A and B are shown apart, each in its own frame.
Chain A
Amino acid sequence: MNELLANVDWYEIWLATLETFLMLGGSLIFTILLGLPLGVLLFLTGPKQLFDQKGLYSILSLVTNILRSLPFIILLIVMIPITVMITGTSLGVAGAIPPLVVGATPFFARLVETALREVDRGIIEATQAMGATTKQIIISALLPEARPGILAAITVTAITLVSYTAMAGVVGAGGLGDLAIRFGYQRFQTDVMVVTVVLLLVLVQVLQMVGDRLVVHYSRK
């Protein structure tokens, strides 16, 4: 066993895993904080919705689409000056989080918009008929009703972020992806590559399982 994994430094692996978790956790929190309101805004200003605003919707939609069509690897590099402005460095976990958030937020916002569109219009009408304000409609009816869909969106986004963190290794972000590239690829240490890939696989599996459980738990349909 040890012969097969001769190049594997388990302490390095542990540190890299920790970095991956930090990048994932940090970027996921900011993605949700920014993406959820953006998704709600996209939904509300959309055609025939509560705040039907053609102009605003077009702008939001365009920005979202531009950011989504940019390959993440390019975004990583383009973002470097902005990242330095925000965090003071473009390296390590702190340097990785801004591009991760910018890459994942538009994606997550679109998924939130779709989840909100799935909510029965009749429920919005019923809440309006009760004399609810728009804010109350969003908080008391729309978001709770879309909760399973939003949880599924968070799951998909988290998994996308795992693969983004691996890519962020290229610009010196650290984490399992960085390890795989520096040792596994550049030094031909296949065993390191295999270990990191297996760990990433396990991470993705666990995220999907937890996400699915939560969706089932909150689905009352």
Chain B
Amino acid sequence: MIEFFEVHKAYQLGKKSVTALQTTSLQIPTGQIYGLIGHSGAGKSTLMRLINRLEEPSAGRIEVDGLDITQLDAEGLRNFRRRVGMIFQHFNLLTSRSVADNVALPLRLAGELSKQAINKKVSDLLARVGLENHAKKYPAQLSGGEKQRVGIARALATDPTILLCDEATSALDPQTTGQVLELLAEINRELGLTLVLITHEMDVVRRICDQVAVMDGGVIVEQGKVADVFLHPQHPTTKRFVYEAEQVDENERVQNLAEVEGRILHLTFQGQATYEPLLARVAYQTGIEFSILSGRIDRIRNEPYGQLTVAFKGERLEEAMQMLQAAEVHLEELRHE
């Protein structure tokens, strides 16, 4: 468990003090994939770097599994950092070292294992990320996705319990992004690592995160389970991220609605309800008519969800709405008749 107790971070810029992170308390449960989303300058990068003290907090206390890391001395901090892997947007591999030497570096720096043990470990790690045939290559000879795999193998070398991912897929194309996210999810599943992941793409959060914190101006404006935040965004910043991900244009949506008759509802359903013929059943039993104006059926992590904008007409509409609500469909009225 990573816990922030009223942590505050300000920089001294000349004579001015600039706040990067407003006083924040936060809990990241062990074994979760925790997303931090925000635009650049929102403070997400600062928040992440406080976890392995690449940034020193100006005030407050940070505990990792009960250990107050703000009190660690230099030696203690170095030992602690070996329990926290980190991967980066631009990979930050050493260009002068081969793939195998890059992965071996954290182990050599720790100086605890013999040469043979290191070699064994490096080949295991490279096999895990699917790069066993690239050990002797140099980073410049690899594609972006392969470089990030090396970065992941390197971050896992010292058997960390936490993996910090700093915009790990932002420099990759969509297909490679998918593969790297898949690998990260697999690591989380199989090794039980806690992942903290910074991104500015809601899609990344939707695909692998369990929980998400939305940041703006050095403040966490909204946080919770991804499904809740994603399907029922409250804060304007969150809404913007969600609409960006769905490519919804608010103006267009309102315009389209003007052309149809009836009462317009926005239906959100999750889990098993997604695949059940709910609308048809309700229509059959109450005799209402409906037409679907727009919609989306997709998955958040592995849980299916659907969002539909539907126009309803009919006498027994109230009854129909109660039936939908009883089936755990969330209703939002966009236009009364």
Contacts and interface: CB of A to CB of B under 8 A. Distances in A.
Among B97, B109, B138, B158, max chain A CB count under 10 A is at B109
B106 A131 contact: yes
B138 A220 contact: yes
Query: Shortest 6 CB-CB distances between A and B: which pairs?
Result: A131-B81, A126-B92, A122-B92, A131-B78, A144-B96, A130-B106
Given A125-B88, A126-B92, 18 more contacts: A120-B92, A122-B88, A122-B92, A126-B86, A127-B109, A128-B54, A129-B85, A130-B82, A130-B106, A131-B77, A131-B78, A131-B80, A131-B82, A131-B106, A132-B78, A133-B78, A140-B105, A218-B96
Interface of A: 120, 122-123, 125-133, 136, 140-141, 144-145, 147, 218, 220-221
Interface in B68-119: 74, 77-82, 84-86, 88, 90, 92-97, 105-106, 108-110
A53 B134 CA distance: 42
B97 A144 contact: yes
A140 B96 CA distance: 10
A147 B96 contact: yes
Contact of B109 (A130, A144, A147, A218): A130
Contacts of B88: 122, 125-126
B162 to A, nearest CB: 11
A122 B93 CA distance: 9
Interface in B115-157: 138-140
Nearest to B108: A140
13 contacts: A125-B88, A126-B86, A126-B88, A127-B105, A127-B109, A129-B52, A129-B54, A129-B86, A130-B109, A131-B81, A131-B109, A145-B94, A145-B95
Contacts of A136: 109
A221 B54 contact: no
Contact of A140 (B84, B109, B164): B109
A145 B54 contact: no
B53 to A, nearest CB: 9
Contacts, number: 66
A125 B54 contact: yes
Contacts of B81: 128-131
Contacts of B79: 131
Contacts of B158: 130-131
A205 B92 CA distance: 36
Contacts of B54: 125, 128-129
A130 B105 contact: yes
A218 B138 CA distance: 11
Nearest to B97: A144
Q: Which of A130, A133, A141, A147 has the most CB of B within 10 A?
A: A130
Best-buried of B54, B84, B95, B139 by chain A (most CB within 10 Å): B95
A141 B97 CA distance: 9
Interface in B36-87: 52, 54, 74, 77-82, 84-86
B121 to A, nearest CB: 14
Nearest to A146: B96
B90 A122 contact: yes
A151 to B, nearest CB: 12
B295 to A, nearest CB: 42
B95 A125 contact: no
A126 B87 CA distance: 8
Contacts of A131: 77-82, 106, 109-110, 158
Contacts of A123: 92-94
A135 to B, nearest CB: 10
A220 B139 contact: yes
B140 A221 contact: yes
A120 B94 CA distance: 9
Nearest to A136: B109
B78 A141 contact: no
A221 B140 CA distance: 5
A123 B93 CA distance: 7
A127 to B, nearest CB: 8
A141 B94 contact: yes
A133 B80 CA distance: 13
Contacts of B94: 123, 141, 144-145
Contacts of B97: 144
Contacts of B77: 131
Contacts of B80: 131
A133 to B, nearest CB: 7
A220 B95 contact: yes
B47 to A, nearest CB: 15
Contacts of A147: 96
A220 B96 contact: yes
Nearest to A126: B92
A123 to B, nearest CB: 5
A128 B88 CA distance: 13
